[in-house]
Amino acid sequence: MADITITPGNVLPGTGARLEEGTAGGTITAGMPLYLDSATNTLKAADANDTAAKAAAVGIALHGASSGQPLKYQVAGPITIGGTAVVGTIYCVSENAGGVAPHTDLGANEYVTVLGVGISATQIKMSINVSGVQVPA
């Protein structure tokens, strides 16, 4: 499998979703997992292939934003991810910055942050788990 191909215009929060707001720290598109940059207090694209801090997703962007703009993001509950999901598949922050990948795609030394589980062909039930653990080499 590969990263979910996300159509930003199709990303929507589901019923009962928990949302938060912050400030974009770069160019963000809907569907991107985000981490909070503690140095700038801004939201940036999460990346499992960088540092534990950059893999520590806090949510998924619900719309696009440029650096300095307000940004709403989802932290829990069902989300229409804007692409094809597989029921029962565990989805994580990808090795590609801002991507969502099946957990089986993570490679050696990549940080594991679970975003949620596929609950339909278009939705993931978000329940973020920042493990801080790297896949063994």
Q: What per-residue confidence (pLDDT) applies to 43?
A: 98
Average pLDDT, the chain: 97
Q: What pTM was estimated for this model as a whole?
A: 0.97
Cα 44 to chain centroid distance, Å, stands at 10
Q: What per-residue confidence (pLDDT) applies to 1?
A: 66
Domain ranges, ordered by start, for the chain = 8-134
Q: Identify the band that residue 83 occupies on the pLDDT scale cut at 50, 70 and 90.
A: very high
Q: What would the CATH number be for the domain defined by 8-134?
A: 2.40.300
d(CA 76, CA 37): 20
Please give the helix or strand (H or E) that residue 55 lies within, else none: helix 52-55
Residue-wise pLDDT tens digits, 21-67: 999 999 999 999 999 999 999 999 999 999 999 999 999 999 999 99
Cα-based torsion angle of the residue sequence 129, 9, 98, 14 in order, rounded to the nearest 10 degrees: 0
